[in-house]
Structure 1
Amino acid sequence: MAGPGGHQMMGPDSRSMDFKGSGKRLLAQFRPERATMYGMLAAGVLSVALTVLGPKILGKATDLLFAGIVGRDMPEGVTKDQAIEGLRDKGDGGMADMLSGVDFTPGEGIDFGAVGEVLLLALGAFLIAGLLMAVATRLSNRAINKTVFKMRGDVQEKLSRLPLSYFDKRQRGEVLSRATNDLDNIGQTLQQTMGQLVNSLLTIVGVLVMMFYVSPLLALVALVTVPLSFFVATKVGKRSQPQFVQQWKSTGKLNAHIEEMYTGHNLVKVFGRQEESAKAFAEQNDALYEAGFKAQFNSGAMQPLMFFMSNLNYVLVAVVGGLRVASGALSIGDVQAFIQYSRQFSMPLTQVASMANLVQSGVASAERVFELLDAEEQEADPAHGTRPDQLRGQVEMDKVSFRYEKDKPLIEDLSLKVDPGHTVAIVGPTGAGKTTLVNLLMRFYEVTGGRITLDGVDISKMSRDELRSGIGMVLQDTWLFGGTIAENIAYGAAKDVTREEIEEAARAAHADRFCRTLPDGYDTVIDDEGTGVSAGEKQLITIARAFLSDPVILVLDEATSSVDTRTEVLIQKAMARLAHGRTSFVIAHRLSTIRDADTILVMEDGSIVEQGTHDALLAAEGAYARLYAAQFAQAVAEVD
């Protein structure tokens, strides 16, 4: 797909999902929150311990009630053993076997005092367990929020360290999707699953311990379905994970398309491309629907399958437990407790399985974020960068070579020297390397051969911030942010500036007049699209911003292409005054922009084929003269 600028865009990486590796790396993000996580685990362990003791305590209350009912119907004055022998003598051996496991006293009814104490103990255990779980949840949320906060910061810092080539090869919407949607999904996934997963795993361990304590035989019966459950979960997970990866890739593509069509909606309408845009949206929306449906359908099958396993486990425990009670090997309270434990054991397994879709979705997003964080960065600044003793603006290019792709040279063996305060105009056909030359000067790209010096210092030995702090730049594509016009102009200043300085810069750029005609003058609020001001007025604002930065070097890349001829002439007069003492690089096609330049460079295929003044180059009747005849004759007529 080609973006609005005509560059071929690159879709999301198509690597297969490394669930295990990405999951481990996501968990590793919690290292700075170790203390909080340990506190959460401690609270969780104590909460689960008290929770799993609850059924055993309630089983004791059931035994007390049953013992009271049995003892009430037995003859008073005999022992338990005598009462059981009496049942055997009557031929009721089955009942005798069952009651042999009951701790009753013949002739005594239900001890409600003892039952009340046991129930109060159970209530206290559950209450404290609930409070501890609330503490664990709060600590978990704190750790998650701080971790996602840190990841957002890492992504922001990474974006600032990525080379311009990274963004040139990708759709902006796709990159934004990773920095917003995927990070949001990670946060939501962790919030919904982490605390519950930890609680479920601790519950499984705690319940297993209690199950073996109550009855090893029943514990083994309950574990029969575990391998089958694990097999089902693994199979379903492997089928659904690729679909979650595709779901988030499709989300990124759809966001990129929407972002492109929204920012360029005027052009879409002008060229009658609404139907094509809607068709492309429908195709990508369908792809997202298909991936999302398959992912949710496959992972959604997990929960009903796990419920089936849970019910199968329940039946097995009930049957074997009933037989053990009938034989007197277990009390009714123990079986009741064990049935609760089997439910407690199955429930977290089901919860873990039901959260599989969330976990897989979150890890898929995490991998996309990690791909961004692992992207190759621009070359690091030198540890101790050097800088010129005094910035004067002398620029020298010594046998500079550059290529975007290794096998396709763009600029070869280019040499140029620009004295301080001189204006250099760069002209040439599209693709000649004009903007690339400026990008190399700004270190948006690094040279592949030769070197560029600023006042005798190799710019590769300077930090980028130090280098760019002395350069003001105005591009053909204006960039404004949501705020007042005064704030947009002041954005170019390295320090706080007064309103007088802002207005002075606006007057120098001939923006003062139209600013004062707006409803709130310089305090008029505009959005990032510059709604309410024309394209030319937006350009004037960005030029005023560059003037306010008071740069040593001024770069204008087609900076006046959006203004009318009369305004352009006024800007040139202002620039002639403001460019005094500054080195200026001007990339333009209009003659009015370049004919007063000290030096005009004519570039073709990455090389300087001619250089000199306007009159000298016209007299030479070479490449510049041909360019002049083809492109500038009409501009001269308009200006003159």
Structure 2
Amino acid sequence: MLVTTSSSEFSAPGPRYNRRGPVRWLWSHLRRHVLHLTGFLGGSLIMVVLNSAVPQLTGAAFDAVLGEQGEPASALWLIALTLLAIVSARGLFDLVARLSSEVLAKRLERDTRDELYVSLLGKSQTFHNRQRVGDLMARAANDIRQLSIMVTPGLDLIVDSGLTGLVPFFFIAAIDPRLLLVPCVFAVLFFLALWHYMRRLNPVATRMREQFGDLNAALNEAVRGIEVIKVTAQEGQERRRFRAHARRYRDSFVRNGLVQARYLPTLLFAFAMAGAMWHGLYLHGMGVLTLGDLVAFMGLMSMLGFPTQMSIFTFSLVQIGIASSRRILGVIGAEDELEQRADGHAAPITGEIVFDDVTFGYEEGDPVLRGVSFTVRPGETVAIVGETGSGKSTLTKLVPRIYDITSGRVLVDGVDVRDWDLDSLRSQISTIEQDIVLFSRSVAENIAFSLGQRADREAVVRAAEDAQAAEFVAELDEGYDTVIGERGVTLSGGQRQRLAIARALLTDPAILVLDDSTSAIDSATEDLIQQAIGRILDGRTTLLITHRLSQIRWADKVLLLRRGELVDCGTHDELIERSRLYRRIFAHYDEAGVGDGPVEGAGDGATGGAADGASGAADGADDGPVLAGEQGGRR
């Protein structure tokens, strides 16, 4: 059963994020959490400043011991107490910074996952038809997890590294500005190497995330189709296919490692330390620096080793995080074919449906429906009949605006469905399909899915009884509280369809669509269900896709589709009388044993129509009169 819901509620005003690029998007998420962002940045800055003061105090201690002044004990006591206070304060601010970064990372992960999920719920069915489920799952799970890792330890270490690479320059300048020569040369060479590294790492990281998405999609496809794989004995082929995806993912990881291996910042730092030592000794020899100044200078220079070492690891995490954010934005920012009006029409539906010269195709230039026009009056039951692939199910999906039409108009109660508020429109339409979608939740929750918390247990039980589902539900271990497997795999096809019918009965829709909804139910159960459905048809508009004569008799009229065109319309008896195509369809069902027996009123024409149709199908002359009394039917 498909009880459609609107995406308008998912596009309601909420946090506004800048989606003009992955970095801007990430920043727009982070800046929402001002307190934790301030704690993270402020705590990191104070911690690095305190760290940089330690070499200064160490140098002062050397000067106190080696100085000409006697009794350095008092100075050393002061330095020791100051160092103790600095180390204690550094630990406190480090704790603040680490806690803030952890909270920031988890909130970023939570917010982006929520944004992606809301976006997916709001996308049109056309969008979802084009996606690979496994790749979407990789983006929703692993890529979003990469954003959290990018913040901590990635961004956490980058901020520490950046501040550690910047703050010591001020302390070095305070000792003697001439000491900045070697650190500045090192900084320029380091940033050139880092820029080259990032430029080479970016495409590799992006490719790595894409390969992971392909790998996950292949795994998901194999798991979903495991029964077909086993029945056709294709385990070997699928294993080779999966290994090929795994090999490509492994190769992208190897390329990432090669890029990192060719980045040699430690070599630059070694030369910088040697140059700094030579320069410091030279100034000390000239009497410009004391020994304590030299010790402090080399201590500050050694602090630059931290950002040098961490850059290999942290910038790789950041590049992977940016690549992941780009993939997530690719889904969130994808154009949605369904434009929704904020002030859309919302009203109770009486049930009138009008198709006015409607053309629709899933792909541009390949129409599935062509120039379809008809009118369904409120409370009418209309059967839709046609050969496989004629567009029957597609036609019904245009009423709740699952897809947007290519041209023409679809009107509900005289209002174009594009002008309706999707919540209001879809909440009053229920569709029961042959392919039933159930969730891994309790039986009661599945029946009440379309109403959520508004459904009470009594209404759920009553709907199950009307759908002839109460008997088998009572036999389950926990009755209505029994959790069924994903997509209802623990139930038979007939049981799944009865739950779907119960779900539709509970919503009390103004428009009901039955798409071959009793195909998986035995004859005895079907008779009971048809009685239940027959009761709810009164007073509501129903579109009925079926090949069963017993159900077609419910219809006030029948629409006959052929290759996406509406070729005739009338009652069952009228079409049997005048349409060879209609007779041929029912003769085919009768021969296949899927109908309800010989078609009344067809006489020998049912068989004869099949023979005649076989010879006349090429020219289409068997389609009968076109739409007497209907709006602009296609000829």
Conserved 8 A contact 1:506-1:544 = yes
- 8 Å contact from structure 1 (residues 399, 449) kept in 2: yes
1:196 to 157, 174, 179: 157
Partner of 1:37: 37
Shift of 1:478: 1.5
For 1:339-488, list aligned pairs within 5 A: 339-388=298-347, 390-488=348-446
Is the CA contact (8 Å cut-off) linking 1:480 and 1:528 kept in structure 2? yes
Report the secondary structure of 1:609's partner residue: strand
Q: CA deviation at 1:216?
A: 2.7
Q: Which residue number corresponds to residue 64 of structure 1?
A: 64
Specify the SS of the correspondent of 2:188.
helix
Q: How much has 1:638 moved relative to structure 2?
A: 6.3
Larger RCO of the pair (alpha carbons < 8 Å, separation 6+): 2
Deviation by residue 1:497-529 (Cα, 9 ceiling, x = unmatched): 333322221121111111112222222221224
1:57 Cα deviation from its structure 2 partner: 1.0
The aligned counterpart of 2:5 is none
Cα distance in structure 1, aligned partners of 2:494 and 2:522: 7
Deviation at residue 56 of structure 1 after TM alignment: 0.5
Q: Which residue of 1 aligns with 2:12?
A: none
Counting only pairs closer than 5 Å after superposition, residues 106-125 of structure 1 correspond to structure 2 as 108=70, 111-125=72-86
C-alpha change, 1:591 and 1:308, in structure 2 (3 Å) is farther
The unaligned stretches of length 5 or more in structure 2 are 1-19, 600-635
CA separation in 1, counterparts of 2:517 and 2:218? 28
Distance in 2 separating the partners of 1:238 and 1:401: 48
The aligned amino acid for 1:540 is R
Query: 2:291 is aligned with what amino acid?
Result: I
Deviates more, 1:171-180 or 1:360-369: 171-180
Quote how far apart the aligned CAs of 1:171 are.
Answer: 0.8
How far the C-alpha of 1:284 sits from its partner, in A, is: 0.6
**1:231 equivalent in alignment to 2:180:** no
Counterpart residue number, 1:599: 557
Deviates more, 1:178-187 or 1:404-413: 404-413
Counterpart for residue 147 of structure 1: 108
Letter in structure 2 aligned against 1:281:
F
Report the alpha carbon displacement of residue 619 of structure 1 after superposing the two structures with TM.
1.5
Q: Give 1:50's aligned residue.
A: 50
Verify: 1:178 aligned to 2:139, yes or no: yes
Give the secondary-structure state (helix, strand or coil) at the position aligned to 1:29: helix
State the one-letter code of the partner of 1:558. D
Deviation at 1:495, TM superposition (A): 5.4
Report matched runs for 1:241-640 at 5 Å. Answer: 241-302=202-263, 305-388=264-347, 390-493=348-451, 496-633=454-591, 634-636=593-595
Distance 1:637 1:553 in 2: 26
User: Deviation of residue 251 (structure 1)?
Assistant: 1.1
User: Structure 2 CA distance, aligned partners of 1:454 and 1:494?
Assistant: 25
The question of whether the paired residues in 1 share the 8 Å contact of 2:384 and 2:558 is answered with yes
Deviation larger for 499-508 or 467-476: 499-508
- Displacement of 1:295 after TM fit? 1.3
Q: Could you tell me whether the CA contact under 8 Å between 1:173 and 1:257 is conserved in 2?
A: yes
Aligned residue for 1:22?
Answer: 22
Q: Distance in 2 between matches of 1:438 and 1:588?
A: 13
1:99 maps to none
Cα deviation code 1:328-362 (max 9, x no counterpart): 22111111111111111232233234312111111
Moved more, 376-385 or 48-57: 376-385
| d(CA) in 2 for partners of 1:509, 1:263 | 29
Determine if contact 1:299/1:356 at 8 Å carries over to the other structure: no
Task: Classify the secondary structure of the residue corresponding to 1:610.
Answer: strand
User: 2:625 — aligned with what?
Assistant: none
Stretches of structure 1 lacking an aligned partner (at least 5 in a row): 1-19, 68-103
Distance in 2 (CA, whole Å) between partners of 1:488 and 1:266 is 25
Q: Which moved more, 1:527-536 or 1:258-267?
A: 527-536
C-alpha distance after superposition, 1:482-501 (max 9, x if no partner): 22212211213365333332
SS in 1 for 2:33: helix
- Contact 2:101–2:151 (CA under 8 A) maintained in structure 1: no
Q: Distance in 2 between matches of 1:44 and 1:492?
A: 49
Matches of 2:454 and 2:185, distance apart in 1: 72
Q: What one-letter code is carried by the residue in structure 2 that aligns with 1:311?
A: A
CA separation in 2, counterparts of 1:372 and 1:584? Answer: 36
* Partner secondary structure for residue 438 of structure 2: coil
3-state SS, counterpart of residue 406 of structure 1: coil
Query: Contact (CA 8 Å) 1:429, 1:604: kept in 2 or not?
Result: yes
Displacement of 1:129 after TM fit? 2.3
SS at match of 1:561: coil
Task: Note if contact 2:398-2:405 (Cα within 8 Å) is conserved in structure 1.
Answer: yes
8 A Cα contact 2:134 2:217, kept in partner: yes
Contact 2:108–2:147 (Cα < 8 Å) also in 1: no
Q: How many angstroms apart in 2 are the aligned matches of 1:482 and 1:324?
A: 75
**1:381 offset after TM fit, Å?**
2.7
| Structure 1 contact 591–635 (Cα < 8 Å) conserved | no
- The equivalent residue for 2:174 is 213
Indicate the SS of the match to 1:556: strand
What's the offset of the Cα at 1:637? 5.6
Stretch moving more, 580-589 or 275-284: 580-589
Write the distance in 2 (CA, Å) between the matches of 1:266 and 1:404.
29
Alpha-carbon deviation of 1:35?
Answer: 4.8
CA–CA distance in 2 between the matches of 1:639 and 1:247? 61
Instruction: Find the aligned partners of 1:492 and 1:321 in 2 and give their Cα distance.
Output: 76
Q: Secondary structure at the match of 2:383?
A: strand
Could you give the per-residue CA deviations for residues 361-386 of structure 1, whole angstroms, max 9, x where no partner exists? 11100100111111012434323222
**Farther-moved stretch of structure 1 (279-288 vs 403-412):** 403-412
Does the 8 Å CA contact 1:592/1:639 hold for their aligned counterparts? Answer: no
Residue 183 of structure 2 aligns with which residue? 222
Kindly indicate whether the alpha-carbon contact (under 8 Å) linking 2:430 and 2:504 is maintained by their aligned counterparts in 1: yes
**Separation in 2 of the partners of 1:612 and 1:247?**
59
Distance apart, 1:593 and its partner CA: 3.8
CA separation of 1:491 and 1:637: change in aligned 2, threshold 3 A: closer
Instruction: Name which of structure 1's ranges 509-518 and 613-622 shifts more when overlaid on structure 2.
Output: 613-622
Contact persistence 2:206–2:323 (CA under 8 A)? yes
Tell me how far apart the structure 1 counterparts of residues 248 and 144 of structure 2 sit (CA, whole Å).
22
**Between Structure 1 and Structure 2, whose CA radius of gyration is higher?**
1
Following superposition, the deviation at residue 111 of structure 1 comes to: 2.1
TM-score by length of 1: 0.86
Amino-acid identity (%): 31
Q: What do you get for the CA RMSD once the two structures are aligned? A: 2.3
Amino acid at match of 1:226: A
| SS of residue in 2 equivalent to 1:442 | coil
Kindly indicate whether the alpha-carbon contact (under 8 Å) linking 1:186 and 1:362 is maintained by their aligned counterparts in 2: yes
CA distance in 1, matches of 2:520, 2:65: 91
Q: Which amino acid aligns with 2:289?
A: L
Task: Please say if residues 569 and 592 of structure 1, whose CA atoms lie closer than 8 Å, have aligned partners that are also in contact.
Answer: no
Shift of 1:446: 1.4
Number of residue pairs matched by the alignment = 580
Q: Give, in angstroms, the shift of residue 609 of structure 1.
A: 0.9
